[in-house]
Structure 1
């Protein structure tokens, strides 16, 4: 469909394979699947969930929210539900919001989900974007605790001056001109990403009075390998402490960080007691960072 090759894609992006959802699969389907696993691993009843936050820019419909479909799918009848639109930073936006709501004392158990089906909004004739994105979802149960673990510091930010779609976004609904598909200025996105993610990471480290040397694992947004390596280098993180799975899934937008966190735990790369630094960056511009102890 485009003038490229497997070798070109691997060298330029670090991506070897991706997952593409079937035509009859909705974003909520992926989110429900991930949510069920999170609920099972957290050993809770869906009826214990008080709030569902779904981070996505590929919702099932404009409204009602994808979160409402997730609520129905998992049987969380006691939960409020809403979507978060913060592009690739969406999951960390959700964690920040969940953290604040729980610390306020009004909520005890919140489900945060990041899910995307990007193949529906990718122009498969645009080499700049069609080789990058994949479909996926991940979820986490966030609960109040008296233990010295969990979210230690969190920060989210945005800059609407960069909301111009020439940088990264979907211009309009003009289907005949393919303006309903992703457009991106990759060079500028790279420059901003490798500057803003380290800045966001350093901010939460200062909040928690923690140094980079204390971090056991950095889990950055899985945009492409070059951005991941550049962010790790700017933070002074050894390569063995930077988690990478972009080669298997591509950029799954709001789902990348939570998918990577889940895999890191399953693989034993992230263990109880470890200090983890999550950082991400997306269209908007939006960005965020979370420091947590497992």
Structure 2
């Protein structure tokens, strides 16, 4: 077969397929009875949940729920001083033990894909974390006495309003995606990749950022310019339906208008070079 070169028969990494079937409720809980897997006074895990998606820390202080796939289990277990061959628990249990020892700092140690929720029963603090590149999604509602968190937005339907976020809708129509933490719904946010959200304070901490070394001497690609551009809000990058509005204004006196406003032409992809002719 053409793609046999990508197979590694010696690989011992587990399958990355995870079916997210859970959501959690946090806040003022009243008469939850249907599909409740675990519950205390302020936190409940709802819906069908696979065993590997739930764990309690050894002291029962932390509850961990999530879709987790890790590639560095051995290194993490060694960090805990645990013999890898003797640890048969799931990845959520591993994170629960790491969280008990290192707190939210343990997210920096994780290599893989995950969207997880950690409930600190003792401190009454909720943490929402997402992997570095956003391979797993995680959404949460932002209003009312009850907050809902889920890996799929449709699971939040009973807990959000039906009001659209018009700024997010504009961004989607212009760019085919919604940048930042906004979603198409006013009362729903997305946990950004490489960040962890603390509740009830709603503080957002960045535990990982993409670092790029700029080697070109061109001032346009100066690191300070790159850092500044990443901080520009989307509404300043779009002017109505015109993309890159700020950049176009900055080079208006340098480049001809025909170049600045010319339509996109795309580029050819050398697909034929990657296939054999029979």
Asked if these proteins are the same fold (TM beyond 0.5), I'd say no
Q: Which has the larger radius of gyration?
A: 2
TM-score, normalization: structure 1? 0.24
Structure with bigger helix share is 1
TM-score, normalization: structure 2? 0.25
